[in-house]
Amino acid sequence: MAKVTVPTDQQAELYQISPGSVRISTAAAMALGLKGGRLYRDAACGCINLIQNYPEGCYANCAYCGLARERPGDPEENSFIRVAWPLHPTSEVVARIAAKEAGGEVGRVCISQVHDKRAYPDLLAILAQVRQAAPAVPVAALVSAELLDEAKLRELKHLGVDTIGIGLDGASEAIFNQTRGQGVRGPHSWAGHWRIARLARQIFGPLRVNLHVIVGLGETDRDLVELFYQLRDEQIACYLFSFNPEPGTALQHAPRASLTRHRRIQLVKYLIEERELPHGAVAFDELGAMIGLRAPAAVVEEAIAAGEPFMTDGCPDRHGRMTCNRPYGSYRPGEPFRDYPFQPTAEDVAVIRGQLRLAELDRGE
């Protein structure tokens, strides 16, 4: 972590810190006209993703994160999900959001916290600017769970946040602890994340809370599938990400999950959430790897042909359509899509079929 000796109350004069400034995803910066360029295959960015900025970076120490406390270098050199997040004055970003909203619609704004004692009051300050400039825009808060409690969650809802996102990331308690908690000297706890997720579910309602889950941190397929069933039963949404090693992090040399594994996990998640796949339909070997999928062939075929299981998981816009599609958050341009930020074409579906290799699974036929 950068050594910052300037007192907190004086930092705003020297650094572009929140709430006066925010980092914005490269795709969102392009959508708002703050950065030139175009996205491959004309992928649209419907969600304006903002992240708080402080000179120390983030006090958490997640093993895979480009913002981790113990990552070498200065915070301004860091990336997040392998993407540069340019820094802009909050007033400028909010004015661009308001102008874009006036000319049509912004799908959603998402304000993300880093783990810092200033993060909650600064979240409120940024939220107030967004709501004043564009009162009809749906707003989500991607929160650091240990910074919240019931009163703060209720305050966020009262002030206009309609969706809460929480980065659980690890699909099991053991993986969580190894990558986010005590195993990396981090402040996060499995129990704390679930406590806030369940409180938020009570306050915001069914499927208005989502947990981010990363495929490829060392979890088993069984871990993921059991988590999908649990979240379905609790009416908490699950948004999948694909682990993509960040240079300079503790997991920079860790292997990625194969495309075949990722596709199968995406398909099973969709069948659990959207087609009521019963418990016991997925079989595993002694190491927890998926070896069987016993579901009606017509149901599986319909899901694959639709392409929806392989699209990015994300929050909806005001019409209920997925709008947070995070173009290229899980892969680089030129690499095979891990999740599609748009509806897959027939050609894309043909590629997906080959990646799934379903003939290798026990289909019970």
pLDDT, tens digit (0-9, with 9 covering 90-100), for 146-164? 999 999 999 999 999 999 9
Our CA angle for 126, 127, 129, nearest 5°, is 65
Q: Is 3 among the domain residues?
A: no
Instruction: For residues 88-98, give the mean pLDDT.
Output: 97
260-268: average pLDDT: 98
Kindly tell me if the per-residue pLDDT of 99 is higher than 90. Answer: yes
Residue 148 in domain: yes
**pLDDT at residue 80 greater than cutoff 90:** no
Residue 292's domain comprises: 8-360
Residue 302 vs residues 1, 200, 327, 345: alpha-carbon distances, Å:
49, 34, 25, 14
DSSP state of 226: H
Q: Confirm whether 2 is domain-assigned.
A: no
pLDDT, residue 364, reads 80
Is the pLDDT higher at 311 or at 42?
311
Mean pLDDT, all residues of the chain: 91
Could you give the CA distance from residue 32 to residue 72 in angstroms, rounded to a whole number?
Answer: 31
Higher-scoring residue by pLDDT: 57, 37: 37
115 pLDDT above the threshold of 70: yes
Per-residue pLDDT, averaged over 128-135, amounts to 97
CATH number, domain at 28?
3.20.20.70
For residue 139, tell me if it sits in a domain.
yes
Q: Please check whether residue 107 is in contact with residue 46, taking contact to mean a CB–CB distance below 8 angstroms.
A: yes
Instruction: Residue 42: name the closest of 259, 327, 296 by CA.
Output: 327
Q: Per the domain annotation, does 365 fall within a domain?
A: no
The reported pLDDT for the residue numbered 299 is 97
Q: Does residue 84 lie in a domain region? A: yes
φ/ψ of residue 11, rounded to 5: -70, -30
Please report which confidence band the pLDDT of residue 187 belongs to, taking 50, 70 and 90 as the band edges. very high
pLDDT of residue 37: 86
The tens digit of pLDDT for each residue in 270-314 reads 999 999 999 999 999 999 999 999 999 999 999 999 999 999 999
Answer whether 118's CB lies under 8 Å from 124's CB. no
Between 172 and 38, whose confidence is greater?
A: 172
Q: Which position has the token pair 């929160």?
A: 143
Judge whether residue 247 has pLDDT over 80. yes
pLDDT at position 69: 79
Residue 257: both structure tokens together: 């999950």
Model confidence at 74: pLDDT above 60:
no
Does any domain span residue 120? yes
**Whole-number pLDDT of residue 11:** 61
Q: Is residue 294 part of a domain?
A: yes
The average pLDDT across 227-252 equals 95
**Structural domains counted in the chain:** 1
